[in-house]
Structure 1
Amino acid sequence: MSNLPQPHCLAPAFGGGAAPPPLSSAAGGGQPVRDRKIASAEQLVLDLCEPDLRENALGELSKKREIFQDLAPLLWNAYGTIAALLQEIVSIYPFLSPPTLSPGASNRVCNALALLQCVASHPDTRILFLNAHIPLYLYPFLNTTSKTKPFEYLRLTSLGVIGALVKVDDTEVISFLLQTEIIPLCLRTMEMGSELSKTVATFIVQKILLDDVGLRYICATAERFYAVGQVLGSMVTSLAEQPSTRLLKHIIRCYLRLSEHPRACGSLNNCLPNMLKDGSFNNYIDDPTTRHWLQQLLHNVGGVNRVANLPGGLDHIIGS
């Protein structure tokens, strides 16, 4: 927690000397509506540190976060704000196991997570957010298995925070997530989550694979490759019963990226699901990009040099 933001007061009452001038003062007199929005955002951020006002502030800021410009730096630099959001998160840990989280408590924490997603996605605060190791506070939520709506909503919103981090290509972000074992947590959601949660989790794995560090990490051992390949294969089978073009697109992109690694490509020649080879999904793929990815995947796997399957590759654990 040593990397949390240093106190930057928004009001003298929060100590540390005189407060900086309100952001609204820089807007000029010709933008009264914008001034009021900024003033409203500043007040709501201050309210986060007041226990009696926090729930309302969480809800209002979460709903209006898209219209509050530079809300992320405001949240990060305001004294006590990030600590207040983390307090909301850890307060529900006791309700994760056994799963007794109420819808109201889930909604309140998800509002806090939405604000953290705002911080995670902003270029000025993303690395600060990462260096403070704040994503680790979300991992217990991704480790839950209850399929009730409060828990599903909690997982989905937590995945949204991680998704915001990986959306911008950054090897530093990927390295952090790999070091903190995000892959098993994503795989868990890909196995048992809702369609939307599965889609976001698969997108995160896809972004990790698209980074060279991520691809090398997953293909470094047969166990890691097998874990990812097994879950992707199970998802393909499930899509035969409940098709989702959006989810299928991310799955195919994951397979295509794996096929670009020589050892993994040799194993995919034997373990790529037949349903991706026999045209089972042709009627569901109307996106030219996805169709191209699948064609490229089949070309990569079909034309693989069998030397890649010599001992030391990944085939011995996948099986034929």
Structure 2
Amino acid sequence: MIDARASPATQAQQTAVPSSANLEINTDEIMQWIIDLRDPTKRELALLELSKKRDSVPDLPLWLWHSFGTMSALLQEVVAIYPAIMPANLTAAQSNRVCNALALMQCVASHRETRGPFLHAHIPLYLYPFLHTTKISRSFEYLRLTSLGVIGALVKTDDKEQLLVVINFLLSTEIIPLCLRIMEQGTELSKTVATFILQKILLDDTGLLYICQTYERFSHVAMILGKMVMKLTREPSVRLLKHVVRCYSRLSDNPSLTLDARVAQGGAGQNVKVRAQQALKQCLPDQLKDLTFKTLLKEDPSTMNWLRQLLTNLEIDGAILHDEELLPK
């Protein structure tokens, strides 16, 4: 998953082993900052300090979730800026403050013991108004990106049982159309996180069946992925191409999967079954078959492997499959 707020220094903190004395001092400080979240006059500084430490304190999600009034304080920060997003007059200071609160929510959403309760409390729904925003400014982009990070943290788990609960929840909401709009209109980083979320949903059988339940859903996803491929020809990104190809590959996985489509016939509508693989084959961009992305694919052999699988599934003999520099070693 992509953490928009992480830095090399933060990553270094994760691997550092603090002394017991330092750990004790840090624990005392962190506990005081958590207490300070309940005090509106001290909350801004506490949010800032805790968000800086969130990657270096493994138990922070548990402390945040189980401490009195903490999650309510974080929700207060989220709800407090609703008036600033419509009409759109969010300031940089407001954005930074609420994003610190969202970073702590992401911390809670990523922990195996707090992910479930966080989800059952329906806290992600409070972030959807931020994902609905379309204004192009640093403040709003930062807000959308950090909100996506919370959703991304929910789906980034290897626990299949937990993941199924997360995906069933997300499918009952509007997360897919929200992600698709960001995939079409967002910055590269927002597109990458939104596409990662869609990819995780698709990789689960429940999510794949949901997307392929109707031709309309399937075609909407395929259309947005196609637009992203076109954009990638102008603005290349190895990371984004990887997620796009992985989504395409997953859509091609099941040869027996069919879509429910409605066609006009004799003045009336009629339901027909359309094979998902056939529908995907008809709309797959030529740029994924020819040598358009050769340079990017040379940098990332795993993406080339997924593309090879995609074209094999669809029985497409593209030029990219025969380039000597990209052949399997």
1:271 to 276, 283, 294: 283
Matched-pair contact (CA < 8 Å) for 1:37–1:68 = no
Matched-pair contact (CA < 8 Å) for 1:41–1:68 = no
- Quick check: 1:289 aligned with 2:282? no
- Name the structure 2 match of 1:142: 131
- Name the structure 2 match of 1:196: 189
**Quick one: distance in 2 between partners of 1:41 and 1:278?**
54
- Give the superposition deviation at 1:303: 6.1
- Give the superposition deviation at 1:281: 0.5
Moved more, 247-256 or 278-287: 278-287
- Quick check: 1:92 aligned with 2:105? no
Give the 3 Å change call, closer, same or farther, for CA 239–303 of structure 1 in structure 2. Answer: closer
2:231 maps to a residue whose letter is S
- Name the structure 2 match of 1:255: 248
1:295 maps to a residue whose letter is R
- Name the structure 2 match of 1:44: 33
- Give the superposition deviation at 1:282: 1.0
Give the percent of matched residue pairs that are identical in Structure 1 and Structure 2: 60
1:214 to 207, 212, 215: 207
- The DSSP-based 3-state class of the residue aligned with 1:260 is coil
Residues 211-235 of structure 1, C-alpha deviations (whole Å, 9 max, x = no match): 0000000000011101111100000
- The DSSP-based 3-state class of the residue aligned with 2:133 is coil
* Matched pairs, number: 275
**Quick one: distance in 1 between partners of 2:56 and 2:28?**
13
- Name the structure 2 match of 1:103: 92
- Name the structure 2 match of 1:82: 71
Structure 1 residue ranges, 4+ long, deviating more than 6 angstroms after superposition: none
- The DSSP-based 3-state class of the residue aligned with 1:240 is helix
Residues 42-84 of structure 1, C-alpha deviations (whole Å, 9 max, x = no match): 0000000000000000000001112223000100011111000
**Quick one: distance in 2 between partners of 1:161 and 1:136?**
11
Of Structure 1 and Structure 2, the greater strand share is in 2
Query: Structure 1: which 5+ residue stretches go unaligned?
Result: 1-29, 305-320
**Quick one: distance in 2 between partners of 1:269 and 1:302?**
8
Matched-pair contact (CA < 8 Å) for 1:130–1:173 = yes
- The DSSP-based 3-state class of the residue aligned with 2:135 is coil
1:189 maps to a residue whose letter is I
Superposed, 1:20-39 pairs within 5 Å as 31-39=20-28
Residues 291-312 of structure 1, C-alpha deviations (whole Å, 9 max, x = no match): 11011101111269xxxxxxxx
Q: State the Cα RMSD in Å.
A: 1.2
TM-score normalized with structure 1 length? 0.84
1:266 maps to a residue whose letter is Q
